[in-house]
């Protein structure tokens, strides 16, 4: 059936074969983030023939993205296209048989809970631990495996989290330092991204084709520049008292009081704020703001400059304040123009 198809070389790989290819066609993968990791993960899975890929991202394409985020091009920057929309356009051109859904929104509990339905796997392509811990709790609650991934500088790491079998992210954070540096402080090189993606997508293919006996049960880390590679056995980190995956879970990061309303974005002098309204009338704001600034807009967002700051309003009520990491300053600008 598939031997003369576009997937013939993948089918010739014995662990996948024709049955694995059929299985891929029936699977749904949710990718949180459409930056460097997310866009590359999405491309590999779409080319592999996964039946449905859902992409969630809150940002739009910026010049600094083009160095490592391979789905995007200069026209996307000029047109201020949201990453999720630009990714969907490119992925559909790559493989029209794959159903790609794109959501330009923040990864909140409410939104992700709605999107978790019928998902077989979640891939982490985020840039902050607030979202990762939220994804971790949703994964545990709905028994959906997820694949953690992170990279900065020439360093990267990846780990497969299977509910009921492996330590979850909350377990790991009690024993292993996973954060610290950011691409804002030490930069990043594209090969580090691709190495993390290679680990994430390989493990994804194992899960999606039911080759779970081949899964890596260790935390993989590397530094390409220093020629270092390690595999750490973290099974001992599994905690029966963990609030996220233990015997009596409470899923603390799904609680309202543990959700961040303002966020400093990784690698950018940018703070994200949220409007209470989830469906913003962009034309209304564009008309009001044109008396104070030059406004550019498309169906997904509007942006304008005030002094050295650039503000971007999305339809889902998010505002990005570029030019500062100071949340207090960002809140002042936010309330100045959006109440």
Tokens 């993948």 — which residue? 10
**Residues 29/117/83/284 CA torsion (nearest 10 deg):** 170
pLDDT at 23 over 90: yes
- Phi first, then psi: what are they for 84, rounded to 5°? -60, -40
Q: CATH classification of 8-257 is 3.30.70.3040, yes or no?
A: no
Residue 165 pLDDT more than 60?
yes
Band (1; pLDDT cuts 50, 70, 90): very low
- pTM for this one? 0.86
Among all chains, which residue has been given the structure tokens 């505002």? 319
Residue 183 annotated to the active site: yes
**DSSP labels, 250-297:** --GGGSGGGS-SSEEPTTSSEEEEE-S-SS--HHHHHHHHTTTS-EEE
d(CA 324, CA 328): 10
Position 189 scores a pLDDT of 95
Residue-level pLDDT at 133: 93
CATH classification for the domain delimited by 261-338, as one of 3.90.1150.10, 3.30.450.20, 3.40.50.150, 3.30.310.10: 3.30.310.10
Confidence of residue 260 (pLDDT cuts 50, 70, 90): low
Q: What is the mean pLDDT of the chain?
A: 91
pLDDT for residue 207: 98
How far is 84 from 70, CA to CA, in rounded Å? 13
- Find the mean pLDDT for residues 277-296: 85
Q: Could you tell me the pLDDT band of residue 275, with boundaries at 50, 70 and 90? A: low
**Residue-level pLDDT at 333:** 86
In this prediction, residue 187 has a pLDDT band, given cuts at 50, 70 and 90, of confident
Q: Give me the residue spans of the domains in the chain.
A: 8-257, 261-338
pLDDT, one tens digit per residue, over 219-235 is 999 999 999 999 999 99
CA 285, 291, 296, 298 torsion-angle sign: positive
Query: What confidence score (pLDDT) does residue 181 get?
Result: 60
* Those residues with Cβ within 8 angstroms of residue 103's Cβ, 6 or more apart along the chain or in another chain: 54, 55, 56, 57, 84, 111, 115
- Strand duo 28-32 + 121-124: pairing: parallel
Report the alpha-carbon distance of residue 208 to residue 210 in Å, rounded.
6
Angle of helix 17-25 versus helix 190-208 axis, rounded to 10: 100
Query: In this predicted structure, what is the pLDDT of residue 185?
Result: 55
Statement: residue 136 has pLDDT above 90: yes
Q: Of the residues 151, 168, 171, 183, which is catalytic?
A: 183
Tens of pLDDT, residues 58-92: 889 999 999 999 999 999 999 999 999 999 999 99
Answer whether residue 211 shows pLDDT above 80: yes
User: Which parts of 96-249 fold into alpha helices (H)?
Assistant: 109-115, 129-142, 169-173, 183-186, 190-208
């Amino acid at each position: 059936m598939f031997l003369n198809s576009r997937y013939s070389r993948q089918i010739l790989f014995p662990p996948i074969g024709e049955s694995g290819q059929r299985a891929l066609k029936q699977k749904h993968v949710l990718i949180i983030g459409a930056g460097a990791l997310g866009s590359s993960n999405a491309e590999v899975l779409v080319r592999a023939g996964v039946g449905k890929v859902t992409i969630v991202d809150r940002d739009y394409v910026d010049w600094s993205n083009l160095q490592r985020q391979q789905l995007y091009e200069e026209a996307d920057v000029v047109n201020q296209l949201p990453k999720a929309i630009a990714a969907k356009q490119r992925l559909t051109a790559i493989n029209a048989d794959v159903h790609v859904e794109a959501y330009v929104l923040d990864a909140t509990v409410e939104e992700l809970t709605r999107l978790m339905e019928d998902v077989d796997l979640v891939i982490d392509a985020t840039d902050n631990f607030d979202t990762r811990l939220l994804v971790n709790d949703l994964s545990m609650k709905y028994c959906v495996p997820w694949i953690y991934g992170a990279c900065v500088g020439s360093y990267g790491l990846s780990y497969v989290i299977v509910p009921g079998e492996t330590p979850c992210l909350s377990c790991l954070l009690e024993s292993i330092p996973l954060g610290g540096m950011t691409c804002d402080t030490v930069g990043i090189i594209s090969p580090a991204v691709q190495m993390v993606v290679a680990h994430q997508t390989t493990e994804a293919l194992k899960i999606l084709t039911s080759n779970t006996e081949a899964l890596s049960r260790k935390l993989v880390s590397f530094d390409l520049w220093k020629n270092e590679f390690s595999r750490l056995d973290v099974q001992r980190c599994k905690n029966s008292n963990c609030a996220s995956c233990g015997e009596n879970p409470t899923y603390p990061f799904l609680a309202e009081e543990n959700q961040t309303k303002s966020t400093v974005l990784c690698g950018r002098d940018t703070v994200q704020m949220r409007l209470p309204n989830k469906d913003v009338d962009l034309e209304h704001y564009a008309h009001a703001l044109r008396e104070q600034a030059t406004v550019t807009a498309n169906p997904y967002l509007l942006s304008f400059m005030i002094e050295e700051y650039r503000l971007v309003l999305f339809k889902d009520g998010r505002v990005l304040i570029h030019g500062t990491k100071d949340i207090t300053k960002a809140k002042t600008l936010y309330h100045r123009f959006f109440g």
